[in-house]
Amino acid sequence: MYSVSSISDIVSKTPLENMDVVTSGRNAPLWFRDAQPIEYSKLTKDLTVDDVVVGGGFTGVTTAYLLSKAGRNVALVDDGYIGSGESGRSTAHLTYALDSRYHQIIHMHGEDIARKVMQSHKAAIDLIEANVSREGLNCDFRRVDGYLYLNEESSEEELTKELEALKQMGNDDVQFMEHAGTSPFDPGLCLRFPMQGRVNPLKYLGGLCREIVRNGGKIFTETHITDFESPTVKARSGNKITAQNIVVATNVPVNMRAKMHMKQAPYRTYVVAFKVPKGHVSDALYWSTRLEQGGLANSYTYIRIHPLDEESDALIVGAQDHKTGQADDGMQRFATIKAWVKQHFPQSGEAIYAWSGQIVNPGDEIGFIGRDKDSLFLATGYSGNGTTYGTLAGMVLSDLIFGKENDWAEMYDPERKTLGSAIDIIEENFNVARKLVDSFIKGQDSQPENLALEQGSIVKRGMTTRLAFYKDDKGQLHAFSSVCPHMGCSVSWNSTEKTFDCPCHGSRYTGYGKVVNGPSNFGLRHAEEQK
């Protein structure tokens, strides 16, 4: 049987230096095997452009690419390198078979909107394909079929309900199958979604960035934006970019006005990549139906292939989601994935990469894309479909900036009023999180001196104070207030990715207190700054 220690060997082989600018976790995703970190120069002077896009993932890069292609003078800014957020940690299934089932979207928003949601994701895959071909991008893009299959707890009705919903929306492409006919993994009863896609996300984003620059756009990395006051954004260095439009493409908006954290919930998901002989596993996408875990939890298994070299492919399997900051057993979760793979892909070879990342689930099943206020725009709430959401966000946002009609703008409007009871669900989650975390923290090690190298802990000091300690690789302790600067929840330690994660809305911080995920835009306060 696979043990946790055999996985910890892998993750310890794949850390990256200066992790906080390269990617948002300690464990490198597979994509860094073939792609270099995408680095540009820092912003060192004030600038005036037509549009400034903050955040270099699928959302920001696509938006900046489309704007620059149309002749706009664009600046794209990231506080890490390009792809250093969740886009570089994505498994990059390109599909319109969303984490939210269409029968649920129809139930919440009606048939017309559900149909447009499907069309928008189809159009996103088409746009990625067109970009790859137009710009000659070498990024392992391929059209492949996808299979939605039943997990061990679901009944056939789940598939038939979904098929009915697809037909109701006019989709006759998706077929019910007794067997997928794939090997060596044939999941049995399933829905086949033809002509979906897969890509190497870092290579794709790197290719689009090259085109942005060729179109006259400017890209700045390691440039943290602290202020978003239309018409100007201000970097930590003090330099400003003034623009007619500001796009906040930071995965979760970090400008405080937006308050999007009330409408969505953050989850951590785990991925392991295995070496398999070339061609041994059918080149397809697989997704199990959800395993309900209570609340909004929607863990499911997602599987794909990535070509490695002449002899091997990588089998990439993700699963085991949990609410951010509410579990610290990542090694066990990797080991569970590994055991599952051994059972279902007995010929699979060694595990070569293991990493986790963060997804953000919207309260009413669909993402938020559009105008925040005046000339400030945002996009968020993508669940595990952010490669297509980010791409279609680029289409919606560039149309809004051009003042062009966009058929999808209204349904994705961040201010839409259809949320109703969904908002209550998020609120409830928020409260539950607070309670859970309190009890979680009580069990933490209270002796920071005893911490292993590169580990952290939350420690009680007196009745009311809690400190976040991190012991670095040289044995030096770093102490912060454990209070999340966003809205005051207590962070918890994520020993797998070596970050302090906030269980309330998913802000994350390195062991040195630097913010790596919003909604917070500021680091943890040093312990001595507390009083």
Ligand X SMILES: Cc1cc2nc3c(=O)[nH]c(=O)nc-3n(C[C@H](O)[C@H](O)[C@H](O)COP(=O)(O)OP(=O)(O)OC[C@H]3O[C@@H](n4cnc5c(N)ncnc54)[C@H](O)[C@@H]3O)c2cc1C
User: Considering only 136-144, 147-155, 394-402, 502-510, which stretch makes contact with ligand FES by CB under 6 A?
Assistant: 502-510
> Closest CB to ligand X belongs to which residue?
386
Contact between 473 and 461 under an 8 Å Cβ cutoff? The reply is no
Cis peptide upstream of residue 231 (ω within 30 degrees of 0) = yes
Binding flag, residue 385, ligand X (CB under 6 A): yes
- The correct pick among 141, 300, 353, 382 for binding ligand X (CB under 6 A) is 382
CB of 228 to ligand X, least distance (A): 8
Gap between the Cα atoms of 457 and 479, Å rounded: 10
- The correct pick among 109, 121, 478, 505 for binding ligand FES (CB under 6 A) is 505
- Residue 358 near which of ligand FES, ligand X, none (CB within 5-8 Å, type-dependent): ligand X
User: Considering only 106-114, 386-394, 400-408, 460-468, which stretch makes contact with ligand X by CB under 6 A?
Assistant: 386-394
Report the amino acid identity of residue 481.
S
Query: Residues 234 to 293: which contact ligand FES by CB under 6 A?
Result: 261
Binding flag, residue 114, ligand FES (CB under 6 A): no
Binding flag, residue 224, ligand X (CB under 6 A): yes
Closest residue by Cα to residue 70 from 211, 201, 249: 211
Binding flag, residue 117, ligand X (CB under 6 A): no
SS3 content of the chain, % helix, strand, coil (to 5): 30, 30, 40
- The correct pick among 51, 86, 145, 158 for binding ligand X (CB under 6 A) is 86
- The correct pick among 11, 54, 163, 303 for binding ligand X (CB under 6 A) is 54
DSSP three-state, residue 158: helix
User: Considering only 79-87, 129-137, 338-346, 407-415, which stretch makes contact with ligand X by CB under 6 A?
Assistant: 79-87
Binding flag, residue 502, ligand FES (CB under 6 A): yes
Query: Residues 255 to 294: which contact ligand X by CB under 6 A?
Result: 269, 271
DSSP letters, 222-269, are S--EEEEETTEEEETTS-EEEEEEEEE-SSS--SGGG-GGGGEEEEEE
- The correct pick among 90, 255, 269, 507 for binding ligand FES (CB under 6 A) is 507
Q: Per-residue contact track with ligand X, 506 to 525, x per CB under 6 A?
A: ------------x--x----
Gap between the Cα atoms of 454 and 508, Å rounded: 16
- Residue 502 near which of ligand FES, ligand X, none (CB within 5-8 Å, type-dependent): ligand FES
- The correct pick among 163, 489, 524, 527 for binding ligand FES (CB under 6 A) is 489
Q: Please identify which residue in the block is written with the tokens 């397809």.
A: 284
Between 67 and 527, whose beta carbon lies closer to ligand X? 67
Binding flag, residue 422, ligand FES (CB under 6 A): no
Q: Using alpha carbons only, how large is the chain's radius of gyration in Å?
A: 22
Contact between 467 and 449 under an 8 Å Cβ cutoff? The reply is no
Contact between 221 and 82 under an 8 Å Cβ cutoff? The reply is yes
- Residue 80 near which of ligand FES, ligand X, none (CB within 5-8 Å, type-dependent): ligand X
CB of 192 to ligand FES, least distance (A): 39
Gap between the Cα atoms of 514 and 525, Å rounded: 9
Binding flag, residue 206, ligand X (CB under 6 A): no
Gap between the Cα atoms of 379 and 315, Å rounded: 31
From residue 508, alpha-carbon distances to 358, 361, 482 in Å are 10, 16, 12
- The correct pick among 37, 370, 381, 386 for binding ligand X (CB under 6 A) is 386
The β-bridge relationship of strands 142-149 and 285-288 is parallel
- The correct pick among 459, 520, 524, 527 for binding ligand FES (CB under 6 A) is 520
Q: Crossing angle, helix 386-402 and helix 58-69, to 10 degrees?
A: 40
Binding flag, residue 390, ligand X (CB under 6 A): yes
Instruction: Dig out the tokens for 489 from the structure.
Output: 């929840």
Report the amino acid identity of residue 259.
K
Q: Please identify which residue in the block is written with the tokens 């202020």.
A: 227
With a CB cutoff of 8 Å and minimum separation 6, the contacts of 245 are 50, 51, 52, 375, 376, 377, 401
Gap between the Cα atoms of 126 and 498, Å rounded: 37
Binding flag, residue 367, ligand X (CB under 6 A): no
- The correct pick among 131, 250, 348, 507 for binding ligand X (CB under 6 A) is 250
Report the amino acid identity of residue 343.
Q
CB of 29 to ligand FES, least distance (A): 23
CB of 404 to ligand X, least distance (A): 22
List residues binding ligand X (CB under 6 A). 54-60, 77-80, 84-87, 89-93, 224-225, 249-251, 254, 269, 271, 318, 357-359, 382, 384-388, 390, 518, 521
List residues binding ligand FES (CB under 6 A). 261, 484, 486-489, 502, 504-507, 519-520
